[in-house]
Amino acid sequence: MELLRFFTAGNVDDGKSTLIGRLLYDSQSISTDIIETLTRQSKTTGSNAEIDLALLTDGLRAEREQGITIDVAYKFFSTSKRKFIIADTPGHIQYTRNMFTGASNADLAIILVDARNGITDQTKRHSIISAILGIPHVVVCVNKMDMEDYEQSVFKKIEEDYLEFSKPLKLQEITFIPVSALEGDNVVTFSDNMKWYKGPTLLQFLEEVTIVPAKTSEGSRFQVQYVIRPQTDELHDYRGYAGRVSNGSYKKGQRVVVLPSGIETVIEKIEKHQVEIEVANTEDTIVLHLKDDVDVSRGNVIVPVENVPKTEKEITATLCWMDNSGFVPGQKLLLQQNSFITKAVIKEIQAHIDIHTFQKKEASDSMKLNDICKVLIKTAESISYDPYSENRAFGAFILINENTNNTVAAGTID
């Protein structure tokens, strides 16, 4: 069964948690004991509804007491047609980093717009981040239509405003659905109040939308996660390189190159679940054996000789700063790309990106929490990569403070 990963984003009171709660409740994806618990809890929140659906995605008790959601809450559910993972990202502007994280592996974005307020700066911010991360599908859910008497003109005005604003973003596919999460209109069941709307319900769209495979380069990609050398009497000469085929395929006898060293060799044997196979394909977890005694380390890349990624010590990237402490020029960092780790420094901040207008602003030497910037990074060891626009798995990375071990930024390579 296919898996669709999607995230929700919107202003603080646009009804994200209620929408997800309605989606889970009306699709009968909640067990009876959880419904009973939510019914009891709803009475203590002062909610007028029998069940406060927002409680389904409120994470921690402290968050509930504050009346806000401050982290990315993940929920899993399934229907007869598809499995789903939902990331409910915060609406507050100070939690841009959480949205960047929740959206990084998503197939689809649901951006909520309050029918009473129309397009806001937060709507623009969430759409711009979706564009930066190359999200294949964007669904604009115009929520709280019940508060505007289900007027078609209200919905159409928001649709027109959004299309006009989003032109420079070059979003791949945009769908508009009018809903009332509180009343259940067009979430799982069609609304009798909006018979003018002829499109799918939100759940129907989620079940039927084409899942666009994460962008990958044309070449095969394999990064070493573990070097296996048992060094026992029985397996004295065993040397295998374990990892996952991120895309493409590998064959026994294929000529490959190890990066960043550039040494060429041949695949002598491929193992999967301790059984020899002739061919390994995308998503396969395997162990490669090479014909020559080559020096291969964790994080090295093994690729076909005819299609190699870029391998450089300087990269330009789009960076979201995630640390409460601002960036300090010359700060010692570690760059991690999957299993590859190397020392790095941010050599230059080339531009700040206005997350409300998508315009580049004049660069400065500082970055603070939630800033998104274009940067030049210098690494101690050469990094092999594909641009993020061509390969999401091989073009993303995080930066770690070498002293505190905190993740301070996430980035996509240009």
Structure confidence at residue 61 (pLDDT): 38
* C-alpha gyration radius of the chain: 24
Structure confidence at residue 199 (pLDDT): 96
> Are 155 and 169 part of one and the same domain?
yes
Q: Which of 175, 208, 241 is a domain's end point?
A: 208
Give the Cα separation of 268 and 33 in Å (integer). Answer: 55
> Are 136 and 249 part of one and the same domain?
no
Structure confidence at residue 69 (pLDDT): 40
> Are 107 and 186 part of one and the same domain?
yes
How many Cα neighbours within 13 Å face the side chain of 135? 30
Structure confidence at residue 11 (pLDDT): 81
Query: What is the domain-level CATH number for residue 182?
Result: 3.40.50.300
> Are 275 and 362 part of one and the same domain?
no
In total, how many domains does the chain have?
3
Give the Cα separation of 90 and 73 in Å (integer). Answer: 9
Q: Which range of residues forms the domain containing residue 203?
A: 3-208
> Are 66 and 146 part of one and the same domain?
yes
> Are 237 and 177 part of one and the same domain?
no
Give the single-character DSSP code of 95: G
Query: What is the domain-level CATH number for residue 238?
Result: 2.40.30.10
> Are 28 and 138 part of one and the same domain?
yes
Of residues 410, 414, 412, the one with CA closest to residue 99? 410
Q: Which of 261, 279, 304 is a domain's end point?
A: 304
Structure confidence at residue 54 (pLDDT): 59
> Are 107 and 166 part of one and the same domain?
yes
Answer yes or no: is 215 within a domain. Answer: no
Answer yes or no: is 216 within a domain. Answer: no
Of residues 57, 66, 60, the one with CA closest to residue 8? 57
**Running along the chain, 414 residues long, what does each successive block of 10 average in pLDDT?**
88 79 79 61 58 55 40 75 83 60 82 94 87 91 96 97 92 95 93 96 95 69 92 71 93 97 96 95 94 93 95 95 90 94 95 83 83 94 93 89 89 92
